[in-house]
Amino acid sequence: MEVKEIKEYLINHLLPYWMGLKDDRHGGFYGEMGYDGKVKYTSVKGCIYHSRILWFFSNACLTLKNKDYLIYADHAYDFLKNKLYDRKYGGVYWTVSYDGYPEDDDKHTYNQAFAIYGLASYYDASGNKEALALAFDLYDKIESFCKDEEGYLEGFDRRFIPKSNDKLSENGIIADRTMNTLLHLLEAYTELYRVSHEDKVASCIRKMLDVLAAKVYNPALRRLDVFFDLNWKSIIDLHSYGHDIEASWLIDRTCEVLDEDDYTRKISVITKDLADHIHSVALDNASSVYNECENGTVDRKKVWWVQAEAILGFVNGYQKNPSRIDYLRTAARIWDYIKQYIIDPREGSEWFNELHEDGTPINSMEIAGPWKGPYHNGRMCFELINRKVELLIRR
């Protein structure tokens, strides 16, 4: 695996696929493509989905230094600003109809975070100051309505009145706080701070890093716990392999952008441990990563985004410690697995969503949809190009 191969895949396959989902009639991008390869033209359009598409095309412009991709970022931005943003109460909706009317008007913190993430990158790519102002408008909503003295809260209705956190709760429980939302709010604020250098954003980042270190990281089990009550008590024995390997490099990126030695030293111990533990317990013959482990039982299916994040996590671990050639070899094997099993060979398709343990696709899962955009696999491409890491290592 070489950077050249990744770049060619990005330019010749991934970008054209998402360019092809542009909805020129109703705005934004078509909200779903089923396993059968058919676009569902009247499916709802999610804000998380559109924020990630906005981020994707903005970073394609930045990474490839090609302004042609800005046309698609502009298109996603216009839809977010004009259809997904609530001009009455502020914040962004969870979903709108295919033609842009509110369908689910909840204001989840996770959703606001991804809009900030996309808007900040779009500002970097376009110089559009209106986009940065909108990102800070969402930041102000989060800081005003979505936190208490212990940290961030998650589920809210249209007026930012608290409600059940069912959208980010899984595995049969309803959590008050989740590692997932905190991780991606940290990611969004990191990008916002990178492009703005606002001290108030840096202050929030420090507090989130403190919470991650003190409340979310479980040193005894060498993992991030996943679901919590209001007092940060873990409420389920769950190890999310994908989130841990993703966090191992995302949190390092935060420390890099924050650029404060004290936090870098404290947090790097955690991120190193996360990557090492995943490498020890979650690999299937060192060629792919299992999904998760609940109450000691491993879910052995293979999820598309977990594999993309595993490549980045292990590449990052190698770059921090070049003696870990095994990390680089594992990343190369995972890319081989992706090419063999996860990239859909059918013309006009993208990556399969989930696979059975034997590598056969789960045909009930969509190819594109509210939770499956070009964020994880696109970011894998951008990061490997920007890091200039060659994975053509002796197997």
> How high is the pLDDT of residue 390?
76
pLDDT tens column, 305-334: 999 999 999 999 999 999 999 999 999 999
Residues 290-315 have a mean pLDDT of: 98
Residue 392: is its pLDDT beyond 60?
Answer: no
Confidence of residue 394 (pLDDT cuts 50, 70, 90): very low
- Two structure tokens written together for 225: 């716990």
- Two structure tokens written together for 297: 């039982």
**How wide is the angle at C-alpha 311 spanned by C-alphas 305 and 317, nearest 5°?**
130
285 neighbors 341 (Cβ within 8 angstroms): no
pLDDT tens column, 168-184: 999 999 999 999 999 99
The span from the CA of 52 to the CA of 245, in Å, is 20
Instruction: Find the length of the chain.
Output: 395
- Two structure tokens written together for 118: 């996309």
Is 3-387 CATH 1.10.730.10?
no
> How high is the pLDDT of residue 186?
98
Residue 289: is its pLDDT beyond 60?
Answer: yes
Residues 99-127 have a mean pLDDT of: 98
Proportion of the chain above pLDDT 70, given as a percent? 98
The span from the CA of 80 to the CA of 114, in Å, is 11
Counting Cα atoms < 13 Å in the Cβ hemisphere of 117 gives 26
> How high is the pLDDT of residue 395?
41
Burial (CB count <10 Å: 0-12, 13-18, 19+), residue 5: middle
Please tell me whether the overall predicted TM-score, pTM, comes out greater than 0.75 for this model.
Answer: yes
Q: Produce one character per residue of 192-206: b if its CB has 16 or more CB atoms within 10 Å, e if not.
A: bbbbbeeeebbebbe
Proportion of the chain above pLDDT 90, given as a percent? 97
pLDDT tens column, 333-379: 999 999 999 999 999 999 999 999 999 999 999 999 999 999 999 99
391 neighbors 331 (Cβ within 8 angstroms): yes
Residue 243: is its pLDDT beyond 80?
Answer: yes
Judged by DSSP in three states, 385 sits in helix
Q: What ranges do the domains of the chain cover?
A: 3-387
pLDDT tens column, 114-170: 999 999 999 999 999 999 999 999 999 999 999 999 999 999 999 999 999 999 999
Residue 8: is its pLDDT beyond 70?
Answer: yes
> How high is the pLDDT of residue 215?
98
pLDDT tens column, 183-201: 999 999 999 999 999 999 9
Helices within the chain (DSSP H only):
3-9, 15-19, 47-64, 70-79, 109-126, 129-145, 179-196, 199-211, 241-258, 261-281, 304-320, 325-337, 375-387
Residue 1: is its pLDDT beyond 70?
Answer: no
pLDDT tens column, 222-237: 999 999 999 999 999 9
